[in-house]
Amino acid sequence: MPGAVIVGTQWGDEGKGRFTDYLAKDASLCVRYQGGHNAGHTIIVDGEVFKLQLVPSGVLYPHVVPVIGNGVVVDPAVLISELDMLSAKGVEVSRLRLSGNAHLIMPYHQEIDRVTERYLGKNKLGTTKRGIGPTYADKALRVGLRVQDLLDPKIFREKLDLVLREKNGLLSKVYNRLPMDANEIAKTYLDMVPRLEPHIDDTVHLVHESLDAGEWVLFEGAQATYLDLDHGTYPFVTSSNPIAGGVCTGAGVGPLAIQRVVGVVKAYTTRVGSGPFPSELLEGDPIGDDLVERGREFGTNTGRRRRPGWLDLVMLKHATRLNTCTELAITKLDVLSPLKELKVCVGYLGDDGTRYEHVPYHQSVMHKIKPIYETLPGWGTDIERAEKISDLPTEAKDYVQFIEDFTKVHVSFVSVGPSRDQLVVLPRGE
């Protein structure tokens, strides 16, 4: 069962899209298994930038069938807009398949997301206000509308009327907002059916047909390990399960279908939104500001400035366990090139003097721990033209080796620039 998963090992924004793009050349299907358009993948091909939100990265290969699985929540207007963008750039999108069991993001989800964040004030979670969390909440409450409901206008309208009674009561009586019009919503969504219907399919069956034929299937997640609803820095997390285990529910396969788990790690650390960040370099720190500038650390979708910090190997090692990573892929090593010395977090110190070699489970401890750093020499020279591991300076190779030794997971890839071809491949034993 030749399945492979690309998973982020930090708080997202590691550059998973480029490795999905790289590995997709040998795949038949590229399957997105969770999340919504609250996360983006940026891929640069021959100098052209593709910013994808819902469509899997494999769409850029003509032989790959891109699949949006049942675990994804979909804003159909955003999906159509993205398909139009790709078509305008000459990318064939007719192959896209969309799970009929994927849940729809509705206008009331987005409104509830906005007013809830405003209501929380200083305790806000830092969501993208795209309606992702409320959609997953309705899924759990079993009142969500799914893609397949669009194919039966009568059922769609009945379900919409039922849920809108509760949502309008919440919006008007709790948040003092105007109620939403069911007729307007129904017309907007049903008018999109002609564009969506050719893509709607039984994606679980499609995935298993490919696996049974011995074809490689690549599973692509959004966000990352520490934004996982169960295993991340709760409540500052997303509303789904980005970890490799999320493939099972989000795409409809069993664990034995997965042979390869590629954990993507940025050569330093960033996160967007609120929440604990032990190795953070606070805004105004010259090194942190330089990382943001050189790494273009602004959200693909939101444009928000990412919070930068040194590489946290304690978190990375825990992530490799949670995901059973078979290998690692390091991104943005080139961003560190100007620095004379580099720090990596190898442990934590609690406010009571306790040393932690693992990620503390208790939120009160996690919010107060201080990083324990080891300092490594920088290389101070450009590495963007490196094509093989021997092209890298000794200090850069040592940095990569330090990561591998600490995590005990082989580093298979190192990116040395933003373009598709700026990638160093490291076979095992090198």
What digits encode the pLDDT tens for the residues 315-349? 999 999 999 999 999 999 999 999 999 999 999 99
The model's pLDDT over 234-268, given as tens digits with 9 standing for 90+, comes to: 999 999 999 999 999 999 999 999 999 999 999 99
Residue 412 per-residue DSSP state: E
Determine the Cα–Cα distance for residues 54 and 48; give it in Å rounded to an integer.
Answer: 19
DSSP 324-361: T-SEEEEE-GGGGTT-SEEEEEEEEE-TTS-EESS--S
Query: Virtual CA dihedral for 9, 15, 18, 23, nearest 10 degrees?
Result: 0
Which residues touch 97 (CB under 8 Å, ≥6 apart)?
A: 65, 66, 67, 68, 199, 200, 201, 203, 206
The amino acid that residue 165 corresponds to is R
DSSP H stretches of helix in 24-145:
76-88, 107-120, 132-141
CA 117 – CA 125 distance, rounded (Å):
7
Task: Look at residue 39 and tell me whether its pLDDT is greater than 80.
Answer: no
- Rounded to an integer, what distance in angstroms lies between the CA atom of residue 262 and that of residue 373? 26
Query: Domains in the chain, start-ordered, CATH in brackets?
Result: 1-96+199-259 (3.40.440.10), 101-194 (1.10.300.10), 265-423 (3.90.170.10)
The Cα–Cα gap between 130 and 104 comes to 12
Nearest CA to 171 out of 112, 113, 106, 105 is that of 112
- The mean predicted confidence, pLDDT, of the chain is 93
Span 128-155, pLDDT tens digits: 778 999 999 999 999 999 999 999 999 9
Please state whether 356 falls in left (phi above 0), alpha (psi between -120 and 50) or beta: beta
- Residues noted as catalytic: 13, 41
Beta strands at 341-349 and 370-377: parallel, antiparallel or unpaired? antiparallel
Q: Is 407 helix (H, G, I), strand (E, B) or coil?
A: helix
Torsion sign, CA atoms 392, 396, 402, 408: negative
Q: What does the alpha-carbon distance between residue 413 and residue 409 come to, in Å, rounded to a whole number?
A: 12
Element (H, E) at 138: helix 132-141
Per-residue buried b or exposed e for 27-46, using 16+ beta carbons within 10 Å of the residue's own CB? bbbbbbbbbbbbbbbbbbee
Band the pLDDT of 123: cuts 50, 70, 90. low
For residue 156, is pLDDT > 80? yes
pLDDT of residue 130: 87
Locate 52 and state its tokens: 């994808």
What pLDDT was estimated at residue 398?
97
Cα–Cα dist 305/270, whole Å: 10
In this predicted structure, what is the pLDDT of residue 321?
A: 97
Amino acid at position 296, single letter: R
Task: Please name which of 20, 2, 3 lies closest in space to residue 331, comparing C-alpha atoms.
Answer: 20
Residue 234, token pair as written in the block = 């709760």
pTM attached to this predicted model: 0.92
Q: Which residues are 154's β-sheet partners?
A: none
Q: Where are the alpha helices (DSSP H) in 197-284?
A: 203-212, 246-247
User: Residue 300 pLDDT more than 90?
Assistant: no
**Residue 95 and residue 78: Cα distance in Å, rounded?**
18
Helix, strand or coil, per DSSP, at residue 214: coil
